[in-house]
Structure formats: structure tokens, C-alpha cells
Amino acid sequence: MQVIILAAGQGKRMRSRLPKVLQPIAGQAMLRHVIATARKLQSSKICVVYGHGGDQVRAALPDADLAWAEQAQQLGTGHAVQQAMPHIDDDGIALILYGDVPLTRVETLQTLIEASEGKRVALLTVDMPEPKGYGRIIRAAAGSVQSIVEEKDASAEQRLVTEVNTGILCVPVTHLRRWLDRLSNHNAQGEYYLTDIIAMAVADGVEVAARQPAAVWETLGVNNKLQLAELERIHQRNIADSLMENGVTLIDPSRIDVRGELRCAPDVEIDVGCVFEGEVELGNDVRIGAHCVLKNVKIAAGTRLAPFCHLESAEIGAHCIIGPYARIRPGTTLADEVHVGNFVEIKNSAIATGSKANHLAYVGDADVGSNVNIGAGVITVNYDGANKFRTTIGDNAFIGSDTQLVAPITVGAGATIAAGTTLTANAPAGELTMARARQTTVVGWKRPTKRSQ
Ligand code: UD1
Ligand code: CA
């Protein structure tokens, strides 16, 4: 089976510089969704027909397994398929998909492919109570499909038909090649209609089967930002449903956005307004508070995120407590039972078991041992304006509040750093180190008073 994806449409109604098929659903170009579906069908070839904005489309999809056919002028869907034919091998069937119809389910297409049995034409049709704009499916009295008539070419009687062409179909390649050669553009739109091959199949005695999808949204195309937003919501609801079917508790399934892959172990709970990007993995009993953004993150069992946390490219251990308002940046690993509190930023650092940074701290380029206490306002001074340096803190160290650790620097295990220290040399293990002006009191000092004039 080979797939031809029509993606030459300009999409003027998007009112965007981004070509229509690159407009995103769940953070990924619509065309990417269609290609992903085609790959799941184990197609031997995927050929994309592209048009205006083609360089941008090709650059966005550098995948080596795609064949590209240019349709410089949009002369109709039949003409578009003709451009793909030099890339298509003569055996088996071709499945025709659309770059702006992103949500068709794999199961639906499998049903269609099975219906073609390698020798029939198989059409995906839907019943539309308001069929305006769609090609109508014309059936004989006995029920067999005879032709597809475009709305602009249809008689008043034909326009009453509510069974419409989704555009998605399977055709045996050798027949397709022959029928495409016979297309003409003598119709109301002066276009080469792919849909004309249906009447040709009937005339040639090739059977035409029709199948319907489980849901109409599977066949909906996107022409403007309103339809893009509608399909985004449908897609997100589908993701939410499948998460809930797998045991995830969503406080409100209409208020979650997954733009990538979210894998959850049992009993995960996700509060409202969270965004998951890239690959996110959540272990048993993980709880994500409201309005968290997680990108490429792995979180082990039992960890809790309070609201408004932002985590990116990080690995978080089990039973950690994070947030509210914590920012965990790329290259961070937290071991088990680490606590990260409000307004704490951690970047490119490894923090071992049981350590805590509960308030207002910056930990960057650091290796922190276990059971370390990082006080409020502690800063790793990791950057001299040109280069970055690491900070190493041993197990059981206590870093007093408002300490600056000027890297490269090492704090030994069990060391205590007094509050307010600017540490510029290594602090030995087990000792108290401080660097601050000595406190003095001027006994009997009087505040100045206002001079009388
Ligand atoms: C087509 C079908 C119609 C069906 C409808 C479903 C034909 C003649 N008509 O309508 O029966 O109900 O889809 O939406 O096939 N495209 C190209 N090159 C072209 C023309 C179109 O690549 O020259 C692509 C578009 O980018 C789009 C798809 O084909 O992805 C459908 O084109 P569109 O103009 O939206 O559909 P119609 O031709 O009006
Ligand atoms: Ca058209």
C-alpha cells in the first residue's frame, strides 16, 4: 500500500505566512499528523504533493522516507494526484489522504483498506446534515455507488443528498493511472476532479465500496483558524479521554494540553491548566498541581508538584515535593525526596537524596550531595561573564541563608556555611566557615537631629 498526501492547497483563509499544512495541532504541523498516520499503516511509500510555500513545507519535514511531488498550479485534486504518479509503483493500492485533514484514525483507514481488498475502489463517506460545499455520493436504486458529483455541478435533486465525499479513498494503482489519464476539466470549476474516477470505475466494472468513520471529526479539514482551534479541542479531548481510560485522574478533561507524548502510571492526578510538551513520563501517584508546564521530563512515583511550576529536560526522583513557583531547567536531576520550594531555580545540577532548597535560591551547574540544606537566598555564582564553573556541595552540608558560592568551589561534607557568607575559597568538611564583616556596636551613638536655622 502506498500513500499520496495532497498538500498543495494555499490556505489563504488562514491569513498566515505559515503554509496551511504546517499550522499546528497539538504543537505539530497538521501534515506531520497525517504522515504519522500513514506510517502506522505500514505504507511502502509516502508521497506528498506540495505547491506554493513548498520550500517551507519541505524544510519543515526533512524526513528521508518521504517522496515529494510538486504541483506548481492547482488545477484540481485529480491533477494533484497525477503529479504523484511518477513516484508510485504499479502494484497494490494507493490511499489518498489530505494534509489538512489531520485527525483520521488509523483504524478507520484500515477498514477502508480492507474494504478495497486490493482490487476495489474504497471511499470514505460521511453523512452531513448540512452538506454544503461537499461532493455528493450518488447511489443507484439498489444502493451501489455510481459517481461523485461536486456541489457546483450538482442538480437541485443531487444537492439534497447528505452522504458526502470526505476525499479519502483507496484505489488500485494500475486503474488509477489509467483513469487519471482520462480526466478532463470540463466542469463548473474548470478543474481536474479526482472524484470523476468513480464513474470511470463503475463504467469499467470495478466495484466501488463505501465505508464510514466512527466519528465525523475524523474527516474534517481545516481552512481557517477557527476550524484549527475546533480540531485542536477535539484532539485534546481524545487525548484526555485516553488518559482517563488508563486510570489518570484529570480534574477537568477540557483543561489539559498535551503537545507530545504523556505516559502515566496508575493513579496520576493532574489539576487544571497544565501543558505537557515533548516526552513526559509520570510515575505512580504523581500529582501535578494547577498550571504547571512540563517539557521532556521524567518524574518518579509519589512526587508532588504544587501549582505554577515549570520543568524542562529534567529527571525527578520519587517522593519529591516541588513548588509552588519552582523552575527546573535543562540538565537537572533530582534524586528521591528532594524538596524544591517557591522561587527556586535549578539548572544543570544534580541534587542527591533528601536535600532541600525551599525558598528563593539559584542552584546552577552544581553537584549537591544528600541531606543538604540550602537556605533562603542562596546563589551559586556560576558565571564570570565569560565562562561557567561548577559548585560541589558534600553530603549533610548546611548552607546558611543569603550565601553566595563563587564557583568553582567545593563545600565539604557536613560543613556549615554561616548566613550571609560570600564564599570564595573551598570550605572544609565538618567545620563552620563564614565570611562577613564582624558586627560591632557603637555604644551611646546618637542619631543626628535637624539643625535649627
Ligand atoms: C474535494 C472533493 C469533494 C469533497 C471535499 C472534501 C474533488 C474534486 N472534490 O473538494 O468531493 O467533498 O474535497 O473536503 O476532489 N488540493 C491540492 N491540489 C489541488 C486541489 C486541491 O493539493 O489542485 C488539495 C487541497 O490542499 C486540499 C484537498 O486537496 O487538501 C481538497 O481540496 P479542496 O479544494 O479543499 O476540496 P474540493 O476540491 O473543494
Ligand atoms: Ca477546490
Does the domain made of 2-219 have the CATH classification 3.90.550.10? yes
Q: Which ligand is nearest to the CA of 221?
A: 1
Amino acid 111: pLDDT: 98
The residue contributing the CA closest to ligand 1 atom 3 is 135
Q: Which long-range contacts (CB under 8 A, 24 or more apart) does 183-189 make?
A: 183/78, 183/79, 183/82, 185/75, 185/76, 187/150, 187/152, 187/153, 188/150, 188/152, 188/153, 189/76, 189/150, 189/152, 189/153
Ligand 1 neighbours (beta carbon < 6 A): 6-9, 49, 71, 74-77, 79-80, 98-100, 134-135, 148, 150, 164-167, 193-195, 221
CA 193 to ligand 1: nearest atom: 8
The residue ranges of every structural domain in the chain are 2-219, 248-433
CA 9 to ligand 1: nearest atom: 26
Residue 368 Cα to ligand 2 midpoint, Å, equals 62
**What pLDDT, in 10s, does the model give residues 111-124?**
999 999 999 999 99
Least confident of 3-17, 92-106, 222-236: 3-17
Q: What is the mean pLDDT of residues 229-245?
A: 98
C-alpha cell at 426: 573551598
Residues known to be catalytic: 359
Amino acid 9: pLDDT: 86
Residue 255 Cα to ligand 1 midpoint, Å, equals 33
Residue 119 Cα to ligand 2 midpoint, Å, equals 28
The residue contributing the CA closest to ligand 1 atom 36 is 77
Closest CA relative to residue 30, chosen from 82, 104, 94:
104
Residue 263 Cα to ligand 1 midpoint, Å, equals 36
Q: What is the mean pLDDT of residues 177-192?
A: 97
CA 221 to ligand 1: nearest atom: 14
Q: Would you say residue 307 has pLDDT above 90?
A: yes
* Size of the chain in residues: 453
Amino acid 420: pLDDT: 97
Spell out the SS3 assignment of the chain.
CEEEEEECCCCHHHCCCCCHHHCEECCEEHHHHHHHHHHHCCCCEEEEEECCCHHHHHHHCCCCCEEEEECCCCCCHHHHHHHHHHHCCCCCEEEEEECCCCCCCHHHHHHHHHHHCCCCEEEEEEECCCCCCCCEEEECCCCCEEEEECHHHCCHHHHCCCEEEEEEEEEEHHHHHHHHHCCCCCCCCCCCCHHHHHHHHHHCCCCEEEECCCCHHHHCCCCCHHHHHHHHHHHHHHHHHHHHHCCCEECCCCCEEEEEEEEECCCCEECCCEEEEEEEEECCCCEECCCCEEEEEEECCCCEECCCCEEEEEEECCCCEECCCCEECCCEEECCCCEEEECCEEECCEECCCCEEEECCEEECEEECCCCEECCCCEEECECCCCECCEEECCCCEECCCCEEECCEEECCCCEECCCCEECCCECCCCEECCCCCCCCCCCCCCCCCCCC
Cβ-proximal residues to 216 (8 Å cutoff; 6+ apart), any chain = 126, 128
CA 74 to ligand 1: nearest atom: 23
Q: Which ligand is nearest to the CA of 195?
A: 1
Prediction pTM value: 0.94
The residue contributing the CA closest to ligand 1 atom 35 is 9
CA 10 to ligand 1: nearest atom: 26
Amino acid 78: pLDDT: 98
Q: Would you say residue 133 has pLDDT above 90?
A: yes
What pLDDT band is residue 263 in, cutting at 50, 70 and 90? very high
Q: Which ligand is nearest to the CA of 20?
A: 1
Amino acid 10: pLDDT: 80
Least confident of 8-22, 144-158, 276-290: 8-22
Amino acid 409: pLDDT: 98
Query: Do the domains at 2-219 and 248-433 have one common CATH topology?
Result: no
Residue 150 Cα to ligand 1 midpoint, Å, equals 10
What pLDDT band is residue 338 in, cutting at 50, 70 and 90? very high
Average pLDDT across the chain, whole number: 97
CATH number at 248-433: 2.160.10.10
Helix 77-84 × helix 173-181 angle, to 10°: 120
What pLDDT band is residue 212 in, cutting at 50, 70 and 90? very high
Residue 388 Cα to ligand 2 midpoint, Å, equals 57
Q: What is the mean pLDDT of residues 356-360?
A: 98
Q: What is the mean pLDDT of residues 334-359?
A: 98
Q: Which ligand is nearest to the CA of 97?
A: 1
What pLDDT band is residue 53 in, cutting at 50, 70 and 90? confident
Q: Would you say residue 453 has pLDDT above 90?
A: no
CA 8 to ligand 1: nearest atom: 22
**What pLDDT, in 10s, does the model give residues 423-448?**
999 999 999 999 999 999 999 999 99
Residue 424 Cα to ligand 2 midpoint, Å, equals 71
Q: Would you say residue 54 has pLDDT above 90?
A: no
Q: To test the ligand 1 pocket, which listed residue (23, 35, 77) has its Cβ within 8 A of the most ligand atoms?
A: 77
Amino acid 52: pLDDT: 75
Distance CA 192, CA 20 (A): 22
